Structure 1
Amino acid sequence: GLLGLYDSIVKSRFIEMFGDPILNPKGWIQEELSKYSLKISDGEHTSVPRVESGIPFLNAKHILSDGEIDFSSASFISEENHNRIFKRCNPEINDILLTTTGTIGNTAIVKTEKEFSMDRGITLIKIDKSRINQFFLAQLLKMPSSQEWMRRNTTTATIGHLFLNKVRSFPTIIPSKSDQDDFSYFLDQITKSKLAIQKSIDELETLKKKLMQEYFG
């Protein structure tokens, strides 16, 4: 559908501009992700008591494959537990979240100012924004060869897990900041187009239902 088409356009544009991010045919500087990150840490390792209402507590299933974060089905933890977890793992706006347990490699950019906590199934990546653009990096992590690298580096016991040392050592190409920003601008434009098309489809669907109702009752 529309999402698949959008996804393939974005991937083609990435390859056209930067080449395959793991094979690096264009010869960009390629270093471990930790070199461009201010912090890479995962969420809480122990089990945390849930409460009726409080601070949202996310696990890997809340990071969706389309890059959205689903807060609607999150459970809650107390402020006291949240503050303790947040000292070590503090997701903030424009940080990158990567699922590293079970479903490996779903990637989202934090778009909210509201505080939340996470369990160890999600890894937090705080980037050095003077050197890397979060939209560029999020797309790089979603590319097929990057996903394949993660699969190859996943430890499988009862459930697959991509450990922090592997995330830190992820080989990251770093094109010029202006090239990254150009890609980010392209992404922004195509997202706006996608939303406009989706809105038209939804409106047509509503109209169709209304007409069906009128004609067939």
Structure 2
Amino acid sequence: MEFIRVEDCCEILDSQRKPITESERVPGRYPYYGANGIQGTINQYIFDGKLVLVAEDGGHFGSKTKSIAYLVNGKCWVNNHAHVLRAKKGFLAEYICYSLMFYKIEGYINGATRQKLTQAALRKLIIPKRSVEYQKAIVDRLDLVRYIIEKKQNIINELDLLIKSRFVEMFGDIDCNTKNWPIIALEELAELMTDGEHSTPKRCDKGIYLLSARNILNHSLKLDDVDYIDEAEYDRISKRVIPKAGDILLSCSGSVGRCCMAPMEIKFQLVRSVALIRFKSEITPIFAEHMITSDWFQRQINSLKTTSSQANLFQGRIKKLKGFVPDMNLQYEFIKVVNQINKLKFA
């Protein structure tokens, strides 16, 4: 297979970018793009046409689910956190974009705290050299795959909304507590409430998962961008707490309030940005997970979290959060509903 460098199949228009501060940006009709997509709008534009934007810094480098390149078309403004590429004759912008979206970028990026893909490195990236007809066939096939994925994701989103709807239907409006459930502070409902390791763990390339706030999503774990520790470090951290299946994990930094139940099939430890709540027997883990992700509970979190450079929810404030205790039979009925809907999502 023959390959071609990015600099040979694209015009690099970085010199036409114009940095502008957020305070100077006036919202308007044109999209304002950065490393990972649209950042807002602006009342002026500096580019007009079909372009491929590639993250320069702050991108999702190394991610298997979030791309580092995306396609834009029309009048827009691009800030200096994204490289700007225009396909040369004989190359489709869509093909170039697909070729770069999940590029194995290791070895091309530098920077310790904030990784950066310099223009010099960008120029050296290579992609398969194909005829225009072959490029179009690849683009058409991948466009179809993306369309199917989006349709399936929409179905999953609708099923998530169905669970939330059934939660309200079964347990009532908790703001008004229409069913008169006991409202109790979490510290009374939990037999254990703690967070992860406070010191800096010794990480390694492979081993046992070390979860941080970025790995906690609502109702699932995100393990495509995760740190690892070895057995010795796991044993050291485990003197503080050993997570168990059914524990509730709550993100306490950045995107505060995301929550999922610890699965039984993985071994892991936590850093400080994740809280662990082990409820007493009167609260089932699946019910607890959906109670915490409910609008009623999230409003409590938003009222208590601190906001400086980034949002935080500290242990003392978590203890002040309030939960409610429904009838156990009703909790089990809700669990059946969740399991049935999750089967549909899995399918």
> Is 1:7 the equivalent of 2:144?
no
Give the aligned residue type for 2:325. I
Distance in 1 (CA, whole Å) between partners of 2:235 and 2:174 is: 37
Letter of the aligned partner of 2:340 in structure 1? Q
Other structure's SS at 2:238 match: helix
Alignment partner, residue 186 of structure 1:
337
CA-based RMSD? 1.5
Aligned partner of 1:87: which letter?
A: K
Correspondence 1:75 to 2:208: no
Three-state SS of the structure 2 residue aligned to 1:89 is coil
**1:81-123: CA deviation from partner (whole Å, max 9, x where unpaired):** 2222222232111111111111111111111343211111111
Following the alignment from structure 1 to structure 2, what is the Cα–Cα distance between the partners of residues 103 and 91? Answer: 22
Provide the C-alpha distance between the structure 2 equivalents of 1:115 and 1:8, rounded to a whole number of angstroms: 30
**Aligned residue runs from structure 1 range 1-217, under 5 A:** 1-65=154-218, 67-128=219-280, 130-196=281-347
Tell me the amino acid that sits aligned with residue 182 of structure 2.
I
Distance 2:252 2:164 in 1: 22
User: Residues 99 and 107 of structure 1 are in contact (CA less than 8 Å); yes or no, is this contact kept in structure 2?
Assistant: yes
1:168 positional shift: 1.8
Shift of 1:159: 1.6
Can you list the C-alpha shifts for 1:119-138, whole angstroms capped at 9, x where unaligned?
A: 1111111111x211111110
Q: Percent identity?
A: 30
Q: Secondary structure at 2:252's aligned position in 1? A: strand
Displacement after TM superposition at 1:60 (Å): 0.7
Residue identity in the other structure for 1:29: P
The residue identity in structure 1 corresponding to 2:261 is: I
Separation of aligned partners in 2, 1:105 and 1:126: 16
- Which moved further from structure 2: 134-143 or 108-117? 108-117
TM-score by length of 1: 0.83
Moved more, 139-148 or 69-78: 69-78
Distance 1:74 1:41, change over 3 A: same
Q: Partners of 1:159 and 1:23 in 2: how far apart? A: 32
Residue-by-residue CA offset, 1:26-81 (whole Å, 9 max, x unaligned):
2101101121211010001222221122321111111123x211233211123222
1:190 and 1:94 map into 2 onto residues whose CA distance is 19
Greater length-normalized contact order (CA 8 Å, ≥ 6 residues apart): 1
- Contact in 2 for aligned 1:49/1:77 (Cα 8 Å): yes
Contact preservation (8 Å) 1:22, 1:171: no
Any unmatched runs of 5+ in structure 1?
197-217
TM-score (norm 2): 0.53
Q: Secondary structure at the match of 1:112?
A: coil
More strand by share: 2
Cα pair 1:21 1:172 within 8 Å, conserved: no
Rate the CA distance shift 1:163–1:22 in 2: closer, same or farther, 3 A. Answer: farther
- Greater helix content: 1
Which runs of at least 4 in structure 1 moved beyond 4 Å after TM superposition?
Answer: none
CA contact under 8 A between 1:22 and 1:172: conserved in structure 2? no
Shift of 1:3: 2.3
Structure 1 contact 96–108 (Cα < 8 Å) conserved:
yes
Mapped partners of 1:83, 1:193: distance in 2: 38
Deviation at 1:12, TM superposition (A): 1.1
Opposite residue 8 of structure 1, the aligned amino acid is L
1:104–1:22 CA distance, 2 compared to 1 (3 A): farther
Return the alpha-carbon distance in structure 2 between the equivalents of residues 23 and 82 of structure 1. 44
Deviation at 1:163, TM superposition (A): 1.0
